[in-house]
Amino acid sequence: MKLKRAIISCYDKKGLIELGAALQKQDVEILSTAGTLKHLQENNIAVKDISEISERGEAFGGRIKSLSFGVSAGLLFDRVSDAQEAQNLGVKSIDLVVCNLYPFDQASQDDFVRWIDIGGPTMLRAASKNYEFVSVLCDPKNYANFIEELEKSGGTISLETRKHLMRKTFSYMADYDCQISTALDKWAGEDSLRLSFSNKKPLRYGENSHQKADYFESTSQLFMKNMQVHQGKELSYNNLLDVQAAFDAIRDLKNQACCIIKHCTPCGIAQSSSQVEAFKLAWASDPVSAFGSIVVFSSVVDKQTVEQFSKKFVEIIAAPSFSHEALELLRTQKNLRVITYDPNIKASKQEIRLIDGGALVQERDLESASKREWVTDCHPALDAGSSAGSRLVGRDDKQARGDNMGLSDSLLEFGLHCIRPMKSNAIALVRTLENGSFQLLGMGCGQPNRIHSVKLAVERATDGLTAEYQGHPSEQDAYIQHHLSRAVLISEAFFPFSDSIDVCHEAGIKTIVQPGGSMRDKQVIEACNQHGISMMFVGNRHFKH
């Protein structure tokens, strides 16, 4: 059926001239309202006032434009079974509605309700309901294809297209009403939360092969959307979770940073002026865990770095981009997935977790230390000869920064970056190398108690230092001792007991950073004093469950 009559009534006038001209070319009668009418007329499109069909003109200062029996009936009647009745009633068919609505993000609370459209949604919904005979356009993005089909067919639109446009319009209406409802709830102080995802993509399976799984895309423009898979198999459910963890871990780490992720857990992290060095150090954090891992870089990956991958089993390598030579070399490893991401896209500010019957919404944990206070007798501020007895070390007090103990501001920042993405209870042992690079030396996390995480961090660090040592076996222990004594142990939450301090002492750890705040802080500090350990309180806790 050839289109005979169209209503155009749009807030966003984009593309209407081209669309109007194309309709005119097919001899479609165009009816319109207020601003749209004027816009079309000024651009030499022949257009009539909607009152020709609505029988009534605009009323109440524009509150009513299209709402009428004539327009509703013209959209809704069945062109076959209701044809005779329509003729008797003098109802003219309307075969196309072009309509979009006021975007609320520009409205203030005061005039929000005034901008809610009643007539537009009625036309959009009526046209969609009668998609078997009527076309509906709610998005200027669809005009081009619509015009093409119209011209090719000589004035008709296929059922398939009408069905597609109908589905799109009901989705648009759902989004519109959700926006109204959440805004009203917010203003009433009884916030609601409506999340919308589309474009389902079935995944091979979920966390395990007996679990069916799908991925849905969010409508907002976020991190994952900006991810591109350059080679290798499609990402699995677990890959997607791991990649998210990798992006969370690398985010905000500047320079040449490298993180290695396994089962959503960072097991290797390093920062250096050289990318190859950063990768080598991150890998050395825990080579056993790094097997089958995801490696993510903060900067463009070059060929020299990719060469390091040759004999290592890695599932995914991700970076903002890769040099041409690097990509070429990667092509030889067919099973390795290569991903690029946009490092400029910030994480969403909110973190949403669904539990049975509800949603937990919290701000992301992006905080650093809220204070830097040495709480032990022995501490770098004293050693460095700053005013005796002062336990407060200012951010800019360079003399007192404690470089002599290996705890510079930048190492502390690096350590907090390491610990934040780890599951509680988390412990990180970090160090500064002679060339200024930072390395996660060992970590323990995901444990229901803190002491096991301390033991794990020490064990991993000892393994790493053992592998690193090249000298005579008789001096290996001394080497390990020396490096552990210069490393910094960071705990993401307070020590509930002093038992972990004893483990640190046995391992030869000399510097500990923790938030503080336990009812047994005094005992913990006392244990440090007994063992000659320096301890800094940093205030902020970094639980991650």
Q: Enumerate residues 301-330 that contact its own copies by CB under 8 A.
A: none
Decide: helix, strand or coil at residue 489. Answer: strand
Two tokens, residue 471: 């000298």
- Residue 544: what residue type? K
Q: Find the shortest distance in angstroms from Cβ 7 to its own copies.
A: 15
Nearer to its own copies (CB atom), residue 147 or residue 243: 243
Q: Measured between alpha carbons, how far apart are the two ends of the chain, in Å? A: 60
Q: Pick from 106, 310, 357, 389: which binds its own copies (CB under 8 A)?
A: 357
Nearer to its own copies by C-beta: 54 or 100? 54
CA angle, 341 then 344 then 347, to 5°:
85
Residues 38-57 that bind its own copies (CB under 8 A): 54-56
416-418-424 Cα angle (round to 5): 90
* # of chain residues touching its own copies (CB under 8 A): 137
Closer residue to its own copies, CB minimum distance, 86 or 378: 86
Collect all residues with Cβ–Cβ distance below 8 Å to 118 and sequence separation of at least 6: 67
Q: How many residues does the chain have?
A: 545
Q: Give the pair of three-digit tokens for residue 208.
A: 């395990």
Nearer to its own copies, 183 or 405 (CB): 183
SS3 assignment for 75-131: HHCCCCCCHHHHHHHCCCCCCEEEEECCCHHHCCCCCCHHHCCCHHHHHHHHHHHCC
Q: Check residue 228 for interaction with its own copies (CB under 8 A).
A: no
Which of 443, 87, 21 lies closest to 267 in space, CA to CA? 443
Q: Give the nearest distance from C-beta 270 to its own copies in angstroms.
A: 16
3-state secondary structure 219-260: CCCCHHHHCEEEECCCCCHHHHHHHHHHHHHHCCCCCEEEEE
* Minimum CB distance to its own copies, residue 425 (Å): 6
**CB of 411 closer than 8 Å to CB of 436:** no
Is there binding between residue 237 and its own copies (CB under 8 A)? yes
Given 220, 335, 466, 530, the residue binding its own copies (CB under 8 A): 220
Judged by CB under 8 A, the chain residues 502 through 541 that form the site for its own copies are 540-541
- Contact segment (CB under 8 A) with its own copies among 33-41, 94-102, 119-127, 133-141 equals 119-127
Stretches 257-265, 326-334, 378-386, 387-395: which one binds its own copies (CB under 8 A)? 257-265
- Nearer to its own copies by Cβ, of 354 and 388: the residue is 354
Distance from C-alpha of 360 to C-alpha of 138, rounded to nearest angstrom:
34
Q: By the 8 A CB rule, do 298 and 250 touch?
A: yes
* Alpha-carbon gap, residue 34 to 380, rounded angstroms: 75
Residue 25, interface with its own copies (CB under 8 A)? Answer: no
13 binds its own copies (CB under 8 A): no
Q: Which of 113, 144, 392, 433 binds its own copies (CB under 8 A)?
A: 113
Q: Does 352 bind its own copies (CB under 8 A)?
A: yes
Nearer to its own copies, 457 or 509 (CB): 457
Minimal distance in Å, beta carbon 427 to its own copies? 12
- Tell me whether residue 131 or residue 374 sits nearer to its own copies (CB atom): 131
Among 17, 180, 327, 378, binds its own copies (CB under 8 A): 180
Q: Are strands 350-355 and 358-363 parallel, antiparallel or unpaired?
A: antiparallel
CA–CA distance, 307 with 215 (Å, rounded to integer): 33
- Using the minimum distance from each CB to its own copies, give the nearer residue, 195 or 433: 195
Q: Which is nearer to its own copies, 532 or 543 (CB)?
A: 543
In 3D space, the residue among 154, 240, 151 whose CA is nearest the CA of residue 204 turns out to be: 240
CB of 153 to its own copies, least distance (A): 22
Q: How far is the CB of 24 from its own copies (least distance, A)?
A: 28
Nearest approach, Cβ of residue 403 and its own copies (Å): 27
For residues 29 and 54, the answer to whether their CB atoms sit within 8 Å is: no
Residue number with CB closer to its own copies (357 or 389): 357
Closer residue to its own copies, CB minimum distance, 147 or 490:
490
State the minimum distance, in angstroms, from the CB of residue 478 to its own copies: 26
Backbone Cα Rg of the chain: 32
Based on the shown chain and the rule CB under 8 A, indicate whether residue 90 belongs to the binding site for its own copies: no
State how far the Cα of 414 lies from the Cα of 252, in Å rounded to an integer: 10
- Between 19 and 258, CB nearer to its own copies: 258
Site for its own copies in 412-471 (CB under 8 A): 423-425, 445-449, 451-452, 456, 459
Question: Which residues are registered as beta bridge partners of 429?
Answer: 442, 489
Cβ–Cβ < 8 Å for 33, 9: yes
Within 479-498, the residues that bind its own copies by CB under 8 A are: 496
Q: Do 140 and 12 contact (CB within 8 A), yes or no?
A: yes
Q: State yes or no: residue 102 binds its own copies (CB under 8 A).
A: no
Q: In this structure, what token pair is assigned to residue 183?
A: 């805004």
Binding mask 367-406 for its own copies (x = CB under 8 A): x--x------------------------------------
For its own copies, the closer CB: 275 or 289 = 289
Among 82, 377, 397, 403, which residue interacts with its own copies (rule: CB under 8 A)? 82
Minimum Å gap between C-beta 342 and its own copies is 11
DSSP 8-state secondary structure symbol assigned to residue 392: B
Contacts of 202 (CB under 8 A, 6+ apart): 213, 214, 215
- Position of tokens 């913990």? 524
- Binding of residue 244 to its own copies (CB under 8 A): yes
**Selected range binding its own copies among 4-12, 95-103, 110-118, 428-436, rule: CB under 8 A:** 110-118
58-77 residues near its own copies, rule: CB under 8 A: 59-61, 63-64, 67-69, 72-73, 76-77
